[in-house]
Structures are given as structure tokens and as C-alpha cells.
Homo-oligomer: A and B are copies of this chain.
Amino acid sequence: MKIAVVAPSNTLKREAADRVEAITAARGDCELFIHPQCFLSEGHFAGNDGERLSALREVMADPSVDAVWFARGGYGSNRIAEAAAAGLPGAARSKVFMGYSDTGFLLAAFHKAGLKVAHGPMPQDVVRDGGEAAVNRALDWLIGRDPASLDPQLEQPAMAFNLTVLSTLLGTPLEPDFDGVELLIEEIGEHHYRIDRLMFHVTSSPNIRKVARIRLGRASDIPENDPEFGSDEQAIVADWCGRAGIELGRPADIGHDSGNKVVPFARFPE
């Protein structure tokens, strides 16, 4: 089992890479290849668009690689997602791709292109409190498809996205078909009024209105609204689901934290 790590958004911290390498060495059940592109830095990004795309396409085309694990989020995978999903090498079809947050743009594009993707913890998560558990949860699923890594309430087919990422991929070539899908969403660092605006946008989409249901994960680090918004994220999501005639499902066990569970987009077991 060979897992390749590339960074389509921001630069991976060396400390995080070292700690994840120590975890995989101790497990002894996989070979981890952290692509040197992960440590590049150009402005906001882990290298320029060409460098990030090239590293991603390299591991996608490598038949020895079983899984491609996105190093971290931040911002930038949207800038290369359409090109990354075009003219796919045959070897890409035998792999699974995992990430979340900003790398949701790639999950969407790759899922739409027929590849196997999953929303789940990334190497950079190791630096969080309890981050080793998150990394091991991701590895347990990548290596052994461990059902204990999944949201226990998951009904498939499912998809999971950061809410801002979801809003900004609608109407782009990356937008997948949401028909009948259980849609899990999570957010970080957005004011309640922004969550409300994003929910207005997302639930107004005719494509999103075809989902089986929406389930809200954790919305963390919400800045203070001035004045107080008047309702919390659960009420906001319930309000917009109600207006749009979308079923609101149970809370989802995903978020920008070490408890973040794995959500495979395809039915599981495959």
C-alpha cells in the first residue's frame, strides 16, 4: 500500500510531515511518499499553479501509488482542479483521493470525472489537539477501508464539503450531480451572517435541491457577530432547508477538528 502526499493548496509544515512519517513508520502497514512539492512556497501557495498541478498529475499517473492524500487545505486547489481532472491517466482510476476543506474543489472535480474520492483528515491535521487520532483514522480507511473511520450515521451515496467551497463551486465546471445524495457540510471561521448568506446561495441551487438531505457538521471558530445575529448555525441551516424543501438530517460528525470522520463519496464498500 503506497500513499502519495501532494499539496494542491498551501505548503505542508515540515513538523507535520515528520510526525505523519513517524506514525506510518510505527504502523508498518503502508509506504508514505511525501512529494517534495509539499514544501514549496510561492505567495499563498505550495508552489505556483504549474508546480502544484504537475506534482498532482505525477502521482495520479503513477501505477505504484494506491492513494493520493492531500497534505492540507488553505486556498488554491480550485485554480488547478479543472486541469487536474482533464484527460485522466488510466492509473488514476485505481486510486482513492482524500482531503477536505479547500481540497473539496478536487474532490468534486474528481468525483465528477469518475474517480474514487473521500472527505477526511489530512496530514497537516496531525498538529491539532488529538491530531494523531485523526491521521490514524484517515490511514485506517485509506489502507483497510475501516468502517470505524466513517460517520456512524452515514447513508450513502454521500458527499461532504466545506460550505464556502460548496458555494463557490456551484455553476463551475467542477459542480457534481447532487441527485439523491446525502450532503454533509461544515464550516470554519465564518460569521453567522456569512453562513446565512452561504446557505441562501447553496439551497437556492436547483441541483442542490435534489439532495436526499443536508446534514450539518461542526461550524467552528465563528467570529462574533455585531450585533448578535439572532440565531445559531443549526437554526440557520434548518431555516434555509425549510425554505427550499430540503430534508434536514442529523448532525454530521465532520469539521475542522481532530474528530473529523471519513465520508467516501461513492457507496461503501466499493
Contacts and interface: CB of A to CB of B under 8 A. Distances in A.
Contacts of A45: 230
A214 B176 CA distance: 28
A210 interface: no
A228 B171 contact: no
A227 B41 contact: yes
Q: Is the interface of A mostly helix, strand, loop or mixed?
A: loop
Interface residues of A, number: 33
A76 B193 CA distance: 8
Given A43-B227, A43-B231, A44-B227, A79 B200 contact: yes
A252 to B, nearest CB: 23
Contacts of A156: none
A173 interface: yes
Contacts of A164: 197
A204 B173 contact: yes
A172 interface: yes
Interface in A40-79: 41-45, 75-76, 78-79
A229 interface: yes
Given A167-B168, A170-B170, A196 B75 contact: yes
Interface in A181-196: 192-193, 196
A225 interface: yes
A13 to B, nearest CB: 13
A44 B193 contact: yes
Contact of A204 (B172, B196, B198): B172
Given A171-B171, A198-B168, A200-B168, A193 B231 contact: no
Sorted from nearest, which 3 A-B pairs have the closest CB atoms?
A43-B230, A172-B204, A168-B201
Given A78-B197, A170-B170, A172-B201, 7 more contacts: A44-B225, A44-B230, A76-B193, A79-B200, A171-B171, A171-B204, A171-B206
